[in-house]
Structure 1
Amino acid sequence: MWFVKNKDEVINELQTNALQGLTSEEAKQRLAKYGENKLAAKKSKSLIQLFFAQLNDAMIYILLGAALISGILGEISDSIIIALVILINAIVGLIQESKAEKALEALKKLSTPKAIVKRDGELKEIASEEVVPGDLVIIDAGRYIPCDLRLIETANLQIEESALTGESVPVDKNSDLILEASNTPLGDQKNMAFMSTLATYGRGVGIAVGTGMDTEIGKIAKMLEEGDSEQTPLQKKLAELGKILGFAALGICAVMFLVGVFQGRPLFEMFFTAISLAVAAIPEGLPAIVTIVLAMGVQRMIKEHAIVRKLPAVETLGSVNIICSDKTGTLTQNKMTVVKFYADNAFGELSSLNINEPEHKLLLENLVLCNDATYTEESKTGDPTEIALLEAGAKFNIFKAELEKQHQRINEIPFDSDRKLMTTVNKYDNEYYVFTKGATDNLLKICNNVYVNGEIVPLTEEIKNDIMNKANSMSDDALRVLGAAFKKISSPHVAIDSLETDLVFIGLIGMIDPPRLEVKDSIALCKKSGIKTIMITGDHKNTAFAIAKELGIAEDPSQAIFGAELDKLSEEELYSRIDNLRVFARVSPEHKVKIVKAFKAKGNIVSMTGDGVNDAPSLKAADIGVAMGITGTDVAKGASDMILTDDNFKTIVSAIEEGRNIYNNIKKSIIFLLSCNTGEIISLFFAILLGWASPLKPIHILWVNLVTDTLPALSLGVDPGDPNVMEEKPRNPKQTLFAEGAGVSLILNGILIGLLTLAAFVIGARVYTGTTSLFPIFPENISEEALTHAQTMAFVVLSVSQLVHSLNMRHSSKSIFQVGWFTNKYLIASVLFGIFLQDVVITVPFLRDVFKVFDLNPKDWLFVGLLSIVPLIVNEIAKIFIRMKKTNN
């Protein structure tokens, strides 16, 4: 903690020379000891490692086992189909994942390439990697800080630290300060300068006290490296589902094998049948379909100005119920703006300023001329506060370049952090105006008159109190207040010391980093949707709360807390208070991670938005990290799951809406696939239990699972979004995929499809044999040809009834007539194409031999058609009762 030590202690401890710097030999030895001044990179995974990581899934293991056993049993076509599914899934995941985890590489790029140091008594420009602890580093405006420095000399030095601390304005630095509190936040360590921050004004000299991974940026890099990538809710649910299906498959196999043995069937036949059931229990296309649907969602979200770096992050947004947002640049414009003024007893919004009033005009001329920044529509350079003053003048057609041509600057006293004042002398015809701007209280001490009603009158205590009341009123609204004063002199040749005396007070202006215009509506929509918005910032508590109140984030000061207060809370105390807190001010990167983890510990799904280096660890700790694409640093982008290309908070809300719809669509696809697989299990289970011949062959099941079911499932994945989705509350993270009646619907529709398949099997056998026997499908009394015909009928009904059932999945309660037959043209095309493919399989001789099926006649197709539309009719009737129940509730 170098900020609590004085300059001499720092110099002695680092064994350096404050005048000569290190010698070249000392620098060389220290470089060997401490290493290069750069951030350590985390070893990235190879493509092979990433590929095998895609295979590390319970469902994939089951599929690999099924492929292996099918191959051993001679069903090579089954093995090949399963292997193709696994390969496609792995490749899609590999492509997406190979672009991720670049946060530390981005951090390295932030290091400034060159630094000016003093060695052997001479100034030298060296690569920043060569800076070592003890080096004397020279700082001037426009130069990045190459490492962490304890400042030993400063002259009006200001450093822009927003990317590291969240502070929205440059920080005044003072090398003479010695801080006593060891837990002083980064933003208040004014005798320090930190790696990768930017000097915007003045100059200084510092001693390198931390390099490479020992810097504040380095600490963030370590936090990123240590952070574990947690699974998203959908990943967790699919992992659980894979285990459930795996155990279910093994259980079904065991039960059926035992039933077959008990019935006296051949062991090999029963083993093969058990494998068929295992294949039926597992939706082979599910991993690939979920991945592809997510990838499609990614493409749609790009059009909504959101780039998703990790596929599962798409659905995570849909379950978010807490948005932790950085203030500067995310909720606000990251641009200081003058919003209020006070002059000639007029107090109000800047837009009400009257340029025709001499006091108002002089106030603006003061702020524009007593200013070192430059401003045009094309470029802005200088201190953000001074740029804001020039922009205020430009709104009233007062431009610095034109005004300085008329009123040339003759003399000046630069801004000083002790005086908190700046003064210039400008020529006005045959007179000279002294313009001074600065902190209100300091300015009033050197004023003895005030400009009111076109006259200069004495500054009485009453007027002075009124001015301070107006200044305090602006401060209470979290505005940064500056005062302006002037006086006339007849000659520019006066003592510098006398310029800032006997001034005439003109007025005040209040400025703030204003909220983004669209943010308030977005936060209101979030509130309506059951989503809490939390502001996390490096700014002061009053400023943060005022912005939060204006945006509708917080209503009471008790909902705001300082980072220093946060440190005093135990983990249990923080957890008990976290639900009521909305604003976290003056926080460090460690605080942000602590806040995110506290919200997550209460069972919330947390999104963290940010743009700075300081946001990176919390972006990674959150369930989903959202970085700003325009103002965001590479570090923030590298640590995030999603990047907003327009830096617009409103886009987050659009992304949440898209995420909810995508999750709903994925859920539709999963429930559809599982209900279809349940139908397959029901048909095989009851057939074997009753001692019948098998109604389906393993290749039939694989064909239905991988081809016939896949296209409708993908089409459901791109179903148009529900326009009322944002009126719903966020999903309970613990809620399963089978909640809200989805599980009941799955089972009932599975049973219906299974029974229809068995009905087709029985009808097929009777039609072919012409028998009057009710169940002519026992192995001992059915011929091979009759069995093939019956299996073909069952195969077609299983396939087509599932295709028809996909129409039911559009909405849980709305009729297909309400949703619209052709609002999802992909689904209609999938159903028609699936029926066409089914026809091809049983009519093309080569495929007919591969699938061991029978070419159906028109009468067979009539039976098939009637049985296949039953799921649609039954579900339409059921939805009438569901809607009636909702209406009554």
Structure 2
Amino acid sequence: MMWFLKSQDEVFKEFNVNPDFGLSNEEAAKRLNQYGMNKLKGKPQKSILSLFLSQLNDMLIYVLLGAAAITFFIGEYSDAVIILLVVILNAVIGVVQEYKAEKAVEALQKMSTPKSLVRRNGEVIEINSEEVVPGDIIILDAGRFIPADIRLTESANLQIEESALTGESVPSNKDANANITDPKTPIGDRSNMAFMSTLVTYGRGEGVVVATAMDTEIGKIAKILDDDSSDMTPLQKRLDELGRILGFMAIGICVLIFIIALIQKRDIMEMFLTAISLAVAAIPEGLAAIVAIVLALGVTRMSKINAIVKKLPAVETLGSVNIVCSDKTGTLTQNKMTVTKHYTYGLLSDVPPTSNNLSASEATNELIKTLVLCSDATFDNGQGTGDPTEVALVVLGYKYNIKKEDLNKEHKRVSEFPFDSDRKLMSTLNIEGNGYRVNTKGAIDNLLKICSHVLADGKIVPLTDDIKREFLKVAEEMSDSALRVLGAAFKNTQSIIKPEEMEKDLILIGMVGMIDPPRLEVKDSIREAKNAGIIPIMITGDHKNTAVAIAKELDIAESIEQSITGAEIDEMSDEEFANNINKYRVFARVSPEHKVKIVRAFKAQGNIVSMTGDGVNDAPSLKYADIGVAMGITGTDVAKGASDMILTDDNFTTIVHAIEEGRNIYNNIKKAVIYLLSCNLGEVISIFLSILLKWPVPLLATHLLWINLITDSLPAISLGVDPGDHDVMKQKPRDPKESFFAKGAGIRAVIGGLLIGLLTLTVFFYGMSKSNYPIGSVISDYENADYQNALTHARTMAFVVLAASQLFYSLAMRSSTKSIFQVGLFKNKYLIGSICAGLLLQFIIISVPFLAKPFKVQSLTLGDWGLVILFALIPLVFNEIIKLFSRLAGNNKR
């Protein structure tokens, strides 16, 4: 349908909708069922079968399948079956991991779906854009993505950036009343239409949804704008490279083992299988999968503490953040503005906090009238919608019986000059008697520049320098009391004037002082951030004195010398500003452009910077920051789109909690990786040394594959979801360039691997020495039944020690400094469950005859069990002793 050719009334009639009432909830639900969800069709989800097949698409798996085919061909059926079972089980575990990770990311995408303002049942409400239906009345304002194709019915200085459709980067001017008659009018010239996935950059408007989802213009060209790439995170890439290096090293060792075995004239088939199995066991092919699931589950956990992380790499960066730049309003404060003082020339008055039906002077009534008319907020039944500052002004009107709805009827708005952060002003043009009245509100210093007169004792008199100084003196006194100051001015005109003509030769009426008290919990969070080596920075558009007063109360700053204004920043060169940036804790009277300069300056000093923002103009600073944080409540869709993280509660405390969670997630991944490398190194050492020493191989191919299965999956993932350690916030931020093996992690992996490997060999030696056959009799007595029985017994003991020592060792990995009792032995229930499950499976394998036979193991005596468990506990105990000594050494240093 060519909706741009139709009149507004025709569109209303076509969709059977009243623009003042909108659709009813019942009708909206009916249409949602009829037209479906308002979202573009994305890439089809992978089926379980394709996920399963992708797990098999690995060179090592091909080698294992080839080995299974050879063993089957030569009659070793049990070995072939075990290899195939291990491959299938490994693939199943991989599918479960990938499926969980996909579901976690899917849930996050739903949480970060853009919202839309719609009129339903006569009320303006905010809904998920996916729930918008044809016929909905949509309210548009600056910073929102347009959720569907819309025929505009109202527009005020409306500009929409349509590059997604037209390729034109300059925003298009929109006019709801434009009369278009040519059916061939290109999309870019359809000025009475707004299209899905484009962006409101200025002004406001209203319109009727005429098409949703794939019926929209963008749907027709099947362009999916928010196509989330499934690229690996930097951490995953680093680990993937590490896995490859370890893989080549492991394959090299396996080839070497095979060559030595040939020289020693060992059984070729057995050594072939052992070499392949060792390669599979030694290469931590599950690293990337484990990192993906730990990141995804961690991000899901963060969403429960009101922090939606949009991009997985942000989790890694969070742990390195050492500068948190935060907006004052709403993030550090409660975002509940209340007017407490008002001033007209010569008269400063307090506003009682609870009283209504107040009376005021004529000048005060004029002041309130202008402030209420120059506001887009609403207030009804104790609930306000819109900017908190504007809500406070509407509430002030109610206290003095100057109601917004009555004023709007009597003084209809005919034009406006919307607020922007450069002018720090907003103006409206309203009907006043037989003419019109300009109502302007904004920063008092900016107002003084454009006012030529002042309302004094009911008369309009010239605005002298003395009067200006008096206003600035009162404004400073208000600011020193942590009040935000907002001025108001007006002028009368006989005709409609252009927006840019509104803010000239105005008459100053007065100003109001309002306060937004600090959030109660923020002070503790700031103390916690400082203890964690993080410097909190306040950024605000408020007056310097107001900002410093709040900053002192919150312990962000100690004196006014730690503050700087936007005007002072402009006087410095970029280099000078960067060199002095570390002196400041408060940035006042700043514009979004200054935010970018602040981020650049902090980054130039080698800091990792987090920056909050909510407006359209905040997008550049959010993108440039290492972690861009958008406000979920007050934030525009543009800010949310440019950010890495969204705060659903707009609270500074949530940023600190997210940093703590980010640090713990990184540490958990590190634990899982070091654990896997220790285990794999232990397996390589036990096989390699036995070959070098000309001993029988202590573990068969099937043993290695089985141990790899029970230790590489559940325990590693359980370490990845280890409960967070709050003490992580007592440490300095992690250097993003820091090696993965820093702070002794590499040494721990080597010590763990050596202990596991050597203990496996020791118990194997002990098992052989109990028989009449010395360990070196590998060749001569190979076919002897008694010898084979002794060998099976020794291998069974080595098999149990290797598996159990790895399982127990996972407990030591939970902390590099704290003992297993300090972190809480049973706090990680998943890990305890994994260890118990692994030990039980190990017991079943060697105790159930029909399972023991294919694995070539035998049941152990009670004494043997006691010995192998004792040996298996040694790596854990040794690690705990090292931690004890390091703690004692640390205490002595203090």
Question: Does the TM-score normalized on the shorter chain lie above 0.5?
Answer: yes
Provide the C-alpha distance between the structure 2 equivalents of 1:633 and 1:412, rounded to a whole number of angstroms.
27
Q: 2:857 — aligned with what?
A: 853
Q: Judge conservation of contact 1:562–1:587 (CA < 8 Å) in 2.
A: no
Q: Judge conservation of contact 2:338–2:516 (CA < 8 Å) in 1.
A: yes
Deviation per CA, 1:428-487: give whole Å up to 9, x if none: xxxxxx999867649986557549xxx99999986774334324666898944325899x
Q: 1:81 — aligned with what?
A: 86
585, 591, 603: which one pairs with 1:586?
A: 591
Structure 2 length normalisation: TM-score? 0.67
Q: 1:259 to 1:614 in 2, by over 3 A?
A: farther
Q: Secondary structure at the match of 2:200?
A: coil
Is 1:693 the counterpart of 2:696? The answer is: yes
Q: Secondary structure at the match of 2:759?
A: helix
Q: 1:243 — aligned with what?
A: 244
Q: 1:527 to 1:757 in 2, by over 3 A?
A: same
Identity among equivalent pairs (%): 45
Deviation per CA, 1:613-643: give whole Å up to 9, x if none: 5556765676555444334445555565544
Structure 2 counterparts to residues 372-521 of structure 1, below 5 A: 372=373, 375-378=379-382, 380=384, 387-392=391-396, 397-401=399-403, 441=448, 446=453, 449-450=456-457, 465-471=469-475, 479-482=484-487, 508-511=511-514, 518-519=521-522, 521=524
Q: 2:255 — aligned with what?
A: 254
Structure 2 counterparts to residues 271-420 of structure 1, below 5 A: 271-309=272-310, 313-323=314-324, 338=339, 340-342=341-343, 363=364, 366-367=367-368, 371-372=372-373, 375-378=379-382, 380=384, 387-392=391-396, 397-401=399-403
Q: Judge conservation of contact 1:765–1:790 (CA < 8 Å) in 2.
A: yes
Provide the C-alpha distance between the structure 2 equivalents of 1:855 and 1:128, rounded to a whole number of angstroms.
69
Provide the C-alpha distance between the structure 2 equivalents of 1:522 and 1:45, rounded to a whole number of angstroms.
41
Q: 1:683 — aligned with what?
A: 686
Task: Report which stretch shifted further, 379-388 or 724-733.
Answer: 379-388
Task: Report which stretch shifted further, 632-641 or 435-444.
Answer: 435-444
Q: 1:879 — aligned with what?
A: 883
Q: CA deviation at 1:69?
A: 4.6
Q: 1:612 to 1:81 in 2, by over 3 A?
A: farther
Is 1:765 the counterpart of 2:768? The answer is: yes
Q: CA deviation at 1:260?
A: 2.6
Structure 2 counterparts to residues 571-650 of structure 1, below 5 A: 585-587=590-592, 605-612=608-615, 624-634=627-637, 636-637=639-640, 641-650=644-653
Q: 1:660 — aligned with what?
A: 663
Q: 1:163 — aligned with what?
A: none
Q: Judge conservation of contact 1:420–1:442 (CA < 8 Å) in 2.
A: no
Is 1:743 the counterpart of 2:749? The answer is: no
Q: Judge conservation of contact 1:662–1:717 (CA < 8 Å) in 2.
A: yes
Q: Judge conservation of contact 1:370–1:435 (CA < 8 Å) in 2.
A: no
User: Partner letter of residue 82 of structure 2?
Assistant: S
Q: 2:420 — aligned with what?
A: none
Q: 2:529 — aligned with what?
A: 526
Provide the C-alpha distance between the structure 2 equivalents of 1:128 and 1:795, rounded to a whole number of angstroms.
63
Q: 2:26 — aligned with what?
A: none
Q: Secondary structure at the match of 2:860?
A: coil
Q: Judge conservation of contact 2:171–2:201 (CA < 8 Å) in 1.
A: no
Deviation per CA, 1:411-444: give whole Å up to 9, x if none: 9999987997999999xxxxxxx99986764998
Q: CA deviation at 1:712?
A: 3.1
Provide the C-alpha distance between the structure 1 equivalents of 2:537 and 2:816, rounded to a whole number of angstroms.
34
Q: 1:274 to 1:400 in 2, by over 3 A?
A: same
User: Partner letter of residue 806 of structure 2?
Assistant: Q
Q: CA deviation at 1:608?
A: 5.0
Q: 1:708 to 1:840 in 2, by over 3 A?
A: farther
Q: 1:526 to 1:240 in 2, by over 3 A?
A: farther
Deviation per CA, 1:188-240: give whole Å up to 9, x if none: xxxxxx951464599xxxxxxxxx999xxxxxx99x88x98875443233223
Q: Secondary structure at the match of 1:817?
A: coil
Q: CA deviation at 1:250?
A: 2.0
Structure 2 counterparts to residues 45-124 of structure 1, below 5 A: 45-47=43-45, 61=58, 63-74=60-71, 75=80, 77-82=82-87, 84-86=89-91, 87-88=94-95, 89-96=97-104
Q: Secondary structure at the match of 1:704?
A: helix
User: Partner letter of residue 819 of structure 1?
Assistant: V
Q: Secondary structure at the match of 2:726?
A: coil
Q: Secondary structure at the match of 1:196?
A: strand
Provide the C-alpha distance between the structure 1 equivalents of 2:754 and 2:175, rounded to a whole number of angstroms.
81
Provide the C-alpha distance between the structure 2 equivalents of 1:620 and 1:413, rounded to a whole number of angstroms.
36
Q: CA deviation at 1:578?
A: 7.5
Q: Judge conservation of contact 2:453–2:463 (CA < 8 Å) in 1.
A: no
Q: Judge conservation of contact 2:321–2:534 (CA < 8 Å) in 1.
A: yes
Provide the C-alpha distance between the structure 2 equivalents of 1:50 and 1:644, rounded to a whole number of angstroms.
34
Provide the C-alpha distance between the structure 2 equivalents of 1:244 and 1:861, rounded to a whole number of angstroms.
37
Provide the C-alpha distance between the structure 1 equivalents of 2:330 and 2:338, rounded to a whole number of angstroms.
13
Provide the C-alpha distance between the structure 2 equivalents of 1:689 and 1:479, rounded to a whole number of angstroms.
78
Q: Secondary structure at the match of 2:822?
A: helix
Gapped regions of structure 1 (runs ≥ 5): 1-40, 117-126, 132-136, 155-193, 203-211, 215-220, 427-433, 487-493, 495-502
Q: Secondary structure at the match of 1:509?
A: strand
Gapped regions of structure 2 (runs ≥ 5): 1-38, 72-79, 117-128, 138-146, 163-169, 177-197, 207-215, 219-223, 418-424, 495-505
Q: Judge conservation of contact 1:788–1:854 (CA < 8 Å) in 2.
A: yes
Deviation per CA, 1:500-539: give whole Å up to 9, x if none: xxx99985313588876655654453343223456788x6
Provide the C-alpha distance between the structure 2 equivalents of 1:673 and 1:411, rounded to a whole number of angstroms.
72
Q: Judge conservation of contact 1:629–1:646 (CA < 8 Å) in 2.
A: yes
Q: CA deviation at 1:384?
A: 7.0
Q: 1:669 — aligned with what?
A: 672
Provide the C-alpha distance between the structure 2 equivalents of 1:859 and 1:610, rounded to a whole number of angstroms.
66
Structure 1 length normalisation: TM-score? 0.67
Q: Judge conservation of contact 2:454–2:462 (CA < 8 Å) in 1.
A: no
Is 1:731 the counterpart of 2:734? The answer is: yes
Provide the C-alpha distance between the structure 2 equivalents of 1:602 and 1:239, rounded to a whole number of angstroms.
31
Q: 1:363 to 1:401 in 2, by over 3 A?
A: same
Provide the C-alpha distance between the structure 2 equivalents of 1:152 and 1:672, rounded to a whole number of angstroms.
60
Is 1:807 the counterpart of 2:811? The answer is: yes
Q: 1:115 to 1:794 in 2, by over 3 A?
A: closer
Q: 1:868 — aligned with what?
A: 872
Provide the C-alpha distance between the structure 2 equivalents of 1:474 and 1:612, rounded to a whole number of angstroms.
26
Matched residue count = 747
